C-alpha cells in the first residue's frame, strides 16, 4: 500500500469510528460490532433494537458533522483482557472479539477521540477534524455477524470519505453514473440474461443474445490462445472427493462445495475449479522434456455454494464459467510462458479499451498456515514474478496476502470507462500441485524432473467479466461484440420484401442483422432499437426500395450515414477486424 492509499484508508477508518460515535449518541441501545475501511470507503455493523431506514442516514450524517470539530486527536491505550471486558460489558460482539484476540496472545488496544472509544487495532488519522474533509453515508445493507449465516443479522451502514469535498463530489457523480450502467438492470433490459426463482438464486440463465455475446468473447480468447500453442480439453462437472483431498482444495473450499452422495455411498462434489482435473489429463502418460510445455485450455462451468446474502447479479454467482488454461512446463520455461500469457491478456483487454495495471499478489508472512509449500519455493516464485513486472516497466504494486493458497500470482487490474478498477485476468505460478500429484517429465539426463504448473484465466469468470463489460460500455458494445449489429425497420408491409432482401445480403456477408417487421409505428421501432443500443438502424421505405442507397442511423451520432450497401458492409467488416 503506498502512502496516499494508506492515508486514505486511515481517514476512512477514522470516519467509521465517527459514524459509530454518532450512532451511539442517537441510538444508545444499538450494539456496535466492527467498522473497517474498505476500498470504496468504510462501513460499520450494528445491532439495532428497531430497524433502521435509509431515511435516517441524513440525521446520522448531521450528528457526525456536529461531532467532527471536537475530534482533534486520536489517542490509544493498551489494555488487559479484563479491562477490555469491563469497558465493553453488555456488548456480546466486543466480548467475543476480546476473548478471541486475548486467547491468540494479541495486544488489545482502545482508540479514543472526543467522547468515543472503541476496541481497535489502529490505523487512524492523527487529527480527524482537519483531515476528514468530506464524507457521505451511502446506504444500508444486511450482514451476518462475522459473515456466518447462522449468526445474527446486523445492519451495515456504508459510507465514503475523502480529504476534500471536490474528491467526494467526483466520487458521488461516478456512483450516479454507475447506477445508470448497472448490469443487473441493463442485462435483462438488453435481453442478455435472466434469473428464475424456480432455478435458484445465483444461477443465471443466458438468452440467445447473451449466449452469443459470451461465445464471441470466448472465441476471441481462444483465437489468441491458439496462436500461442494451446490445445482444448474437456472435463466432467463432478469429481470424487479424493481428487480435491489430494490437491488440498477439499479443506480449503469444504464450506463452498456442492456435495453429492451416490446411491453406493461415494462422495462427489460439483467442481469449484478445474486445475486438479487438468493435472490428471497431463498425468495420463510420462512426458519427455522435449514435449513440454503442454498447454491446455478449457472453458467450463464451475460451482460454489455462496451465501445468499453475498450474491449480486453476475458479479457473485453460484455457477460461473471460467476461460481456464493450465500450462505444464519446466521451471526454466515458466518465465517465457508467463510472458506469453501476459501478451494474450494485453491483446484481449487492449481491444476492449481497458487500461491495465498489475498487482503482484504475494503470501502474507504473518499467516504461513494459509499457504501450501515450503518457504524457499515461495521465495523463488515471488522473485521471478517481481522480475517480470520490473522488466515490463508497467504500473504495478504489491498485494501482500493476495496470493492463491498454492502460489503467487500476477493479477491484472482494469480501469473502466468511469474510473472504477476491477481485478480481471490472472496468471498464477504453482509449484505445489505438481508436487501433490507427482507431475514430472524425463529430462536430458533421463531423470524424472518435477515440473511446475501455471494457471491462466483471461476473463476469469465470464459472468463476472460481463458484469464489468456491460457497465464499462453501458450496454453499447463495440460493433464486433454487439449481438445485433444492424436493425432493419420496415415502414409498411409493402416494404417488407425489400427489407428481407437487404437482411439476406447482410447476413451472407456475416453481419448480425435483425428485421423488425412488426406493425408498430416506425418511431416506436426506431426508439426500441436505440434503447437496445444497436449500432446501426436502417429504415426501409420508399427511398430505399431499390437499395441503391441507404440512410443509416449510427449509434451516438445525430447525422445519418448515407452509403451504398457494399460500402456499408465494408465499414462493418472494418470495425470487426482485429
Distant-in-sequence, close-in-space partners of 147: CB < 8 Å, separation ≥ 6: 307
The answer to whether residue 94 is catalytic is no
d(CA 155, CA 464): 26
Torsion on CA atoms 441, 443, 446, 450, rounded to nearest 10: -50
Q: Write down the catalytic residue from 271, 455, 472, 525.
A: 455
The answer to whether residue 161 is catalytic is no
Which among 389, 385, 433, 434 is positioned nearest to 408, based on CA atoms?
A: 385
d(CA 556, CA 554): 6
Q: For residue 293, is the peptide bond before it cis, meaning its omega torsion is within 30 degrees of 0?
A: yes
SS3 letters for 379-401? HHHHHHHHHHHHHHCCCEEEEEC
Q: Write down the catalytic residue from 15, 120, 161, 275.
A: 275
DSSP symbol at 289: G
DSSP letters, 115-132, are TEEEE------S-HHHH-
All 3 cell numbers of residue 479?
Answer: 460493433
Which among 356, 436, 370, 432 is positioned nearest to 403, based on CA atoms?
A: 370
How long is the chain? 578
Strand partners, 296: 231, 326
Distances (CA, A) of 460 to 40, 143, 335, 353, 365: 23, 27, 21, 17, 27
The answer to whether residue 263 is catalytic is no
For residues 557 and 576, the answer to whether their CB atoms sit within 8 Å is no
SS3 letters for 517-557? CCCCCHHHHHHHHHHCCCCEEEEECHHHCCCCCEEEEECCC
The answer to whether residue 275 is catalytic is yes
Distant-in-sequence, close-in-space partners of 452: CB < 8 Å, separation ≥ 6: 328, 329, 330, 331, 334, 429, 430, 431, 434
d(CA 578, CA 576): 6
The answer to whether residue 390 is catalytic is no
For residues 128 and 134, the answer to whether their CB atoms sit within 8 Å is no
Q: Helix-strand-coil percent breakdown of the chain, rounded to 5?
A: 40, 25, 30
β-sheet with 108-113: strand ranges across: 75-79, 108-113, 116-119
The answer to whether residue 150 is catalytic is no
Q: Write down the catalytic residue from 45, 118, 323, 324.
A: 324
Q: Write down the catalytic residue from 136, 326, 359, 512.
A: 326
The answer to whether residue 304 is catalytic is yes
Active site residues: 275, 304, 322, 324, 326, 409, 455
Amino acid at each position: 500500500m503506498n502512502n496516499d492509499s494508506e492515508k486514505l484508508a486511515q481517514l476512512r477508518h477514522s470516519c467509521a469510528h465517527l459514524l459509530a460515535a454518532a450512532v451511539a449518541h442517537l441510538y444508545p441501545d444499538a450494539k456496535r460490532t466492527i467498522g473497517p475501511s474498505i476500498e470504496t470507503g468504510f462501513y460499520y455493523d450494528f445491532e439495532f433494537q428497531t430497524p433502521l431506514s435509509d431515511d435516517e442516514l441524513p440525521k446520522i450524517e448531521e450528528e457526525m458533522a456536529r461531532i467532527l470539530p471536537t475530534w482533534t486527536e486520536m489517542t490509544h491505550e493498551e489494555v488487559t483482557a479484563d479491562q477490555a471486558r469491563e469497558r465493553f460489558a453488555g456488548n456480546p460482539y466486543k466480548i467475543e472479539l476480546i476473548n478471541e484476540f486475548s486467547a491468540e496472545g494479541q495486544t488489545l488496544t482502545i482508540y479514543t477521540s472526543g467522547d468515543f472509544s472503541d476496541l481497535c487495532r489502529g490505523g487512524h488519522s492523527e487529527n480527524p477534524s482537519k483531515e476528514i474533509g468530506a464524507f457521505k453515508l451511502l446506504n444500508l445493507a444486511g450482514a451476518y455477524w462475522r459473515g456466518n449465516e447462522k449468526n445474527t443479522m446486523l445492519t451495515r451502514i456504508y459510507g465514503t470519505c475523502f480529504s476534500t469535498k471536490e474528491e467526494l463530489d467526483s466520487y458521488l457523480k461516478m456512483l450516479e453514473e454507475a447506477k445508470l450502467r448497472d448490469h443487473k438492470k441493463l442485462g435483462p433490459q438488453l435481453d442478455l440474461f435472466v434469473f428464475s426463482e424456480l432455478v435458484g438464486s445465483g444461477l443465471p440463465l443466458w438468452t440467445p443474445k447473451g449466449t452469443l455475446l459470451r461465445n464471441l468473447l470466448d472465441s476471441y480468447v481462444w483465437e489468441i490462445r491458439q496462436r500461442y500453442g494451446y490445445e482444448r480439453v474437456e472435463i466432467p462437472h463432478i469429481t470424487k472427493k479424493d481428487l480435491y483431498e489430494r490437491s488440498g482444495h477439499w479443506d480449503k473450499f469444504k464450506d463452498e462445495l456442492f456435495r453429492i452422495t451416490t446411491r453406493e455411498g461415494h462422495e462427489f462434489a460439483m467442481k469449484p475449479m478445474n486445475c486438479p482435473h487438468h493435472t490428471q489429463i497431463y498425468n495420463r502418460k510420462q512426458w519427455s522434456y522435449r514435449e513440454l510445455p503442454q498447454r491446455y485450455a478449457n472453458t467450463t462451468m464451475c460451482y460454489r455454494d455462496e451465501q445468499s446474502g453475498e450474491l449480486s447479479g453476475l458479479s457473485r454467482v453460484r455457477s460461473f464459467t471460467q476461460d481456464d488454461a493450465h500450462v505444464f512446463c519446466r521451471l526454466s520455461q515458466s518465465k517465457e510462458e508467463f510472458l506469453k500469457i501476459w501478451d494474450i491478456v494485453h491483446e484481449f483487454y487492449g481491444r476492449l479499451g481497458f487500461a491495465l495495471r498489475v498487482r503482484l499478489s504475494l503470501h502474507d508472512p504473518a499467516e504461513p498456515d494459509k499457504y501450501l509449500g515450503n518457504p524457499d519455493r515461495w521465495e523463488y516464485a515471488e522473485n521471478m514474478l517481481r522480475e517480470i513486472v520490473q522488466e515490463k516497466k508497467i504500473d504495478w504494486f504489491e498485494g501482500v496476502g493476495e496470493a492463491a493458497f498454492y502460489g503467487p500470482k500476477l493479477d491484472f487490474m482494469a480501469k473502466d470507462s468511469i474510473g472504477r478498477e476491477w481485478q480481471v485476468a490472472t496468471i498464477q505460478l504453482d509449484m505445489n500441485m505438481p508436487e501433490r500429484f507427482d507431475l514430472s517429465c524425463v529430462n536430458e539426463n533421463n531423470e524424472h524432473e518435477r515440473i511446475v504448473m501455471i494457471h491462466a484465466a483471461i476473463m476469469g469468470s465470464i459472468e463476472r467479466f460481463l458484469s464489468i463489460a456491460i457497465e464499462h460500455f453501458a450496454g453499447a458494445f463495440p460493433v464486433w461484440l454487439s449481438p445485433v449489429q444492424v436493425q432493419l425497420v420496415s415502414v409498411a408491409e409493402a416494404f417488407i420484401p425489400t427489407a428481407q432482401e437487404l437482411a439476406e445480403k447482410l447476413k451472407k456477408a456475416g453481419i448480425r442483422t435483425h428485421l423488425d417487421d412488426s406493425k408498430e409505428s416506425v418511431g416506436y421501432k426506431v426508439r426500441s432499437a436505440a434503447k437496445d443500443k444497436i449500432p446501426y438502424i436502417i429504415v426501409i421505405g420508399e427511398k430505399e426500395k431499390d437499395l441503391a442507397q441507404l440512410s443509416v442511423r449510427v449509434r451516438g451520432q445525430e447525422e445519418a450515414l448515407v452509403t451504398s450497401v457494399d460500402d456499408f458492409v465494408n465499414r462493418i467488416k472494418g470495425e470487426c477486424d482485429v
